[in-house]
Amino acid sequence: MSHALHLLDPVGDPKPNEECGVFGVWAPGEEVAKLTYYGLFALQHRGQESAGIGVSNGERIMVYKDMGLVSQVFDEPTLSSLTGHIAVGHDRYSTTGASVWKNAQPTYRATPNGGLALAHNGNLTNTPELQEWLLERDARAHVATKDSMDSTNDTWLVTALMASFAGTTWDAALQVLPRLRGAFCFTFMDSGALFAARDAQGVRPLVLGRLERGWVVASETAALDIVGATFIREVEPGELICIDSGGLRSARFAEANPKGCLFEYVYLARPDTIIAGRRVHSVRVEIGRTLAMEAPVDADLVIPTPESGIPSAIGYAEASGIPYGLGLVKNSYVGRTFIQPSQTIRQLGIRLKLNPIRDIIEGKRLIVVDDSIVRGNTQRALVKMLREAGAAEVHVRISSPPVEWPCFYGIDFATRAELIAPGMSVDDICRSVGADSLAYISLEGLVASSGVSKKRLCRACFDGQYPIPVPEGAAEKMRLIAQEGDDDD
């Protein structure tokens, strides 16, 4: 397939996109390509634009990647042709670089030792500095980079930098990794070993698992479950891991300063995944309980916006004593299709995604629990649809604080100017979406529900406090925008 994947957006208000998912396996005697396929399938929610797998048989590396979902890119003959005992895989949603084939991953680069294939989850913040470093290194080595610098993502840049060193992949990684800034979880391999690395802040999750005859690394524990791997531990922030015939070894390339992404708990991670020792589903239920205590309202029924609102709606119902019900049915396949809707269908808007069950909601005072509000278009259409289906009242409750700041670490939020929260009060937003009432969980309530210390979390999209320096000029521009907003109040 040479065409790009078009993500259907019938109401113009997509959820924050989940950057990428990475997977790696070292397992002699196993069908590592198929294990990687199923691991990527478990991580499909983290990226739906492209998918790829690289496999090594100890002598050479083969990489196959294309645009589309995992099930669209790979079939039985393709997987059967990818033979070896080491593999890395990638589900991509583009946060840097265009959504085109040349930016699909894993990226591959020839090296003095045979080759390197690398998959990346996250986003680097110092790519100009790294580009200059690469050009300097290639100039000294009399290597032309012009022809191959048509890829526009930071993953290619890291791959090229590691390939520019003449020593082992391990030594190259220990040269390059300390120079990287931003969020990154890597799985990569040469012909004989599997590697994994996580940035010093550990912004994005990365875990290590054990197979009966090998090892697995993955973005989420749910991917370990699907391939039958036992969870061992998280890859530590600032840690490099190598797995080969000699076993597993580890080294620190940076001092750990944990700042795990708080939004993983709200929306990004699968509910069956474990982060920092807690099941995400349990955290989201606790978020709902906290939301009910902070923002009570007299109503007849609590309903979620499927699927991400379900755990928090359960928690809200438990804490409030108000019955929980399934008032909306979701079409799980909308947003992951190559077919664009006709104008007639597009006018139906949110009904492409959700359809109300009139028998359940008619005449009821509803509490609708959702995970976030980005631009407000979805909530506006949802409130209207519920009223048309007979709801007496619609009270919206959001299981995250207002999203007011962009993310530079791998989540494709709208720009600050496009977000609804900056410059509008909660009452203003409530009127804009047409709800009878609107309330968000507090940042303090969300952090407490996570069970993780506030100082060990990245909360930048909620409070603008970026734990890793953002691109030059970006922070100042945002401060000016915020100041202008304050002057207008």
Verify whether residue 458 is a known catalytic residue: no
- Nearest to residue 219, comparing CAs of 358, 91, 327, 52? 91
Q: Are 83 and 55 in contact (CB under 8 A)?
A: yes
β-pairing, 207-211 with 214-218?
antiparallel
Q: Which of 20, 185, 242, 458 is catalytic?
A: 20
- Nearest of 461, 388, 346, 479 to residue 16 by alpha carbon: 461
Residue 75: partners with Cβ closer than 8 Å, 6 or more residues away: none
Count the alpha carbons within 13 Å of 298 in the hemisphere toward its beta carbon. 0
Instruction: Measure the CA–CA gap between 365 and 428, rounded to whole angstroms.
Output: 21
The answer for residues whose C-beta is within 8 angstroms of residue 487's C-beta and 6 or more apart is: none
What the block records as the tokens of 463 is 């409070």
Dihedral (C-alpha) 377, 382, 383, 385: value to the nearest 10 degrees? 130
Q: ω before 106 within 30° of 0 (cis)?
A: yes
Kindly compute the dihedral angle of the four CA atoms of residues 32, 34, 36, 40, in this order, to the nearest 10 degrees.
180
Active-site residue set: 20
